[in-house]
Structure 1
Amino acid sequence: MADFEILAGGYTFKAVYHEDMAPETVAAFKKHLLGLKSKIIHVRWSGQAGWIPFGDLDLGIGHENGTCYPLPGEIVIYPGGKSETELLIGYGYVNFASKAGQLPGNHFATIVEGNENLKALGEKFLWEGAQDIEFRPL
């Protein structure tokens, strides 16, 4: 059963939390980002992923369950440090990085429904620009 829903670029996805592997990140997402309406853009350096930059937003978390290579549908948050705070959703091959170098993102959730539309969403924000995105509780 899914924990939250993502509406992005006309597509709907459902995702599950990984509270056992990233409890601080899940708690911070629920507190600060669940309910967020924003824009998602294509990553600059990381390959095939969507990106929401948050600048100097302090989520009050450190690094946990880190990966530099999130798979399609895996959702990660980089809590800041070498680069700004950011959220990333992979739709293809990803090597998570910034102008400061490779970044380990906290893998805290994974899309479990709608994965067949990830590539189409990625191509949409790549070729058409920023797309609306919303994270909603179920």
Structure 2
Amino acid sequence: MIKVRVIAGPYTFGAVLEDEKAPKTCEAILKAMPFESQVVHVRWSGEGVWVPLGDRDFGVGYENHTSYPAPGQMILYPGGISETEILLAYGGVHFASKMGQLAGNHFLTLTDGLENLHDLGVKTLWQGAQPLRIERV
């Protein structure tokens, strides 16, 4: 497993890429590192934050995809019926958009700093967009 760091808002999380389960997605994310954007709170999916990426094409299809990421799991929706996006679950999530249920590739799992994950979600919900950076350690 490849170790990475996720910095979201004022919080830093240790994480691993799920390169055995989602090798193409992890390769695309590694090529994009350091990945910088902002997370906003989800609208339809429950307790999660997401990065809307419009028509960005990571060049991957479905692998290791789920509609129900667990807290601390990050997924990439590669686009199709809705825009490309990355989602990080901080609680219960049923991944969806205005088009209906979606599934994304589980490519990253937080391993350290999990005690701050819920606080990130609540901060994003009540205070708005938070900076995001994913980098290789």
Partner SS, residue 25 of structure 1: helix
Deviation beyond 4 Å, 4+ runs, structure 1 = none
**Is contact 1:2-1:112 (8 Å) kept?**
no
Partner of 1:111: 110
Q: Any unmatched runs of 5+ in structure 2? A: none
Write the deviation string for residues 59-113 of structure 1: whole angstroms up to 9, x where unpaired.
1000010100000000100000011110000000000000111111100110000
Q: State the distance in 2 between where 1:132 and 1:21 align.
A: 27
The number of aligned residues is 137
**Is contact 1:2-1:14 (8 Å) kept?**
no
Partner of 1:61: 60
Q: State the distance in 2 between where 1:125 and 1:78 align.
A: 20
**Identity of counterpart residues, as a percentage?**
51
**Is contact 1:55-1:86 (8 Å) kept?**
yes
Structure-to-structure mapping, 1:1-138, within 5 angstroms: 3-32=3-32, 34-138=33-137
Write the deviation string for residues 110-134 of structure 1: whole angstroms up to 9, x where unpaired.
0000111000000000000001111
User: Pairwise CA RMSD of aligned residues?
Assistant: 1.1
1:2, distance to aligned residue in structure 2 (A): 6.2
Q: Any unmatched runs of 5+ in structure 1? A: none
TM-score normalised per structure 2: 0.97
Q: State the distance in 1 between where 2:129 and 2:47 align.
A: 15
1:47, distance to aligned residue in structure 2 (A): 0.3
TM-score normalised per structure 1: 0.96
